[in-house]
Structure 1
């Protein structure tokens, strides 16, 4: 294998919990909710699928959001509209909080790398293996990698909103392989979604899946990738 492609959310990084997300947004905006209501509101936002990268599909998607949701990762505008639309299903004390929640999820402080992410990326770099990040997303995640010290180990970022194509469309993986000058048959795609990340198999990539779990519950799921590349 000459290169490894990684998904972002649920693979290399994990977003904060819905309650932490809501609490940080409320604190920054000067709003408050009583503790029981804050927890209830966070659970409702989670159920609505309003937390981008949270790994939770909406329990029930309103009809007027369904078409938008299906293509939400193709542009920055669609991404924001889909997730703020999902959040608006849940009452909040100020209408400005829906956009504030969206802004919060893009902050590096909202993300934590999995415990073994740095070791795996660093080792791949030391072995001369190309590393790419392929993500369905509507914003620039590079600042997250820089803030957490992982950017030096990434050779290419291929983000859906920058190309107007979202996984599992093989074209996005093809762009990544091209950026790394790698034959897809010598590439491993690592991700948490069989549906989205599994699209790389259409090009001949080997695909390795990890579970989308809190960082405290997944200390070493990325380490087997090092064995896959030899």
Structure 2
């Protein structure tokens, strides 16, 4: 099989979101709210435990019933995404209720995201070989500014974002949309992601699938390079 197109997931694959502590600290600073270091550390841990940072850890325990259904479908629209993550955040008391919305807004900024160390190298090499590149993401906001800010947008031929289509991975229709946008047949396409259930949905369409580990960027300096060997 000759790979002519590679689709990538966003969070945990090409980019990693900042730590929960960094996220909370940035918002507190901008909002001019002061917490002791010990309290900031505790609040960050509590926010992480409920999965309040999109792109960060999943909830460590079941969410309340009224939030669980919103959470299950959170990537189908911008409104659902905001409701799910601010709803999770509100499970953790903060000094000012407005901080919950501010935290959500922060996570959409390019400054909150960092590409994996080998992302630019791998994307550039693929495009240099004439391989089409797309991004297929379960997400509730426009990630294109993140790619532009970090210089990766020139390598991406198509973005297929769940909230723009009202469906989430592993629904094969998202992968089919990406293949069509890039003019590639599924059997000539490789999907690269960190979520075996969501990203593995591409296999139902006939795509090859390769998984990477969702790790902090410093702990995964070359996790994307095997993709180049798979493409050949």
Task: Give the TM-score, by structure 1 length.
Answer: 0.99
Q: Is the 8 A contact 1:10 1:55 kept in 2?
A: no
2:139 corresponds in structure 1 to 137
1:55–1:212 contact (8 Å) kept in structure 2: no
Task: Report the TM-score when normalising by structure 2.
Answer: 0.98
Superposition misfits of 4+ residues, deviation over 3 angstroms: none
Taking the TM superposition and a 5 Å limit, the aligned residue runs for 1:66-145 are 66-145=68-147
Q: How many Å separate the matches in 2 of 1:40 and 1:56?
A: 17
For residue 161 of structure 2, the aligned residue among 159, 175, 187 is 159
Q: Which residue of 1 aligns with 2:190?
A: 188
Aligned position for 2:204 = 202
Q: Secondary structure at the match of 1:5?
A: strand
Count the aligned residue pairs: 230
Maintained 8 Å contact 1:49/1:59: no
Map of 2:219 onto structure 1 = 217
- 1:36 maps to 2:60: no
Whole-Å Cα distance in 1 between the matches of residues 61 and 14 of structure 2?
A: 25
Counterparts of 2:60 and 2:210, CA distance in 1: 26
Give the whole-Å Cα distance in 1 for the aligned partners of 2:229 and 2:108.
Answer: 32
Stretch of structure 1 that moved more, 53-62 or 212-221: 53-62
| Cα distance, 1:58 vs structure 2 | 4.1
Could you report, residue by residue, the CA deviation over 1:45-79 in whole angstroms, capped at 9, with x for unpaired residues?
00000000114234221111111111000000000
Query: CA offset at residue 80 of structure 1?
Result: 0.1
Unmatched tracts of structure 2, length 5 or more: none
Q: Following TM superposition, by how much is the alpha carbon of 1:143 offset from its aligned partner in structure 2, in angstroms?
A: 0.3
Q: Distance in 2 between matches of 1:33 and 1:44?
A: 14
1:7·1:191 contact (CA, 8 Å) conserved in 2?
yes
Secondary structure of the corresponding residue to residue 73 of structure 1? helix
- Report the RMSD for the aligned CA atoms in angstroms: 0.6
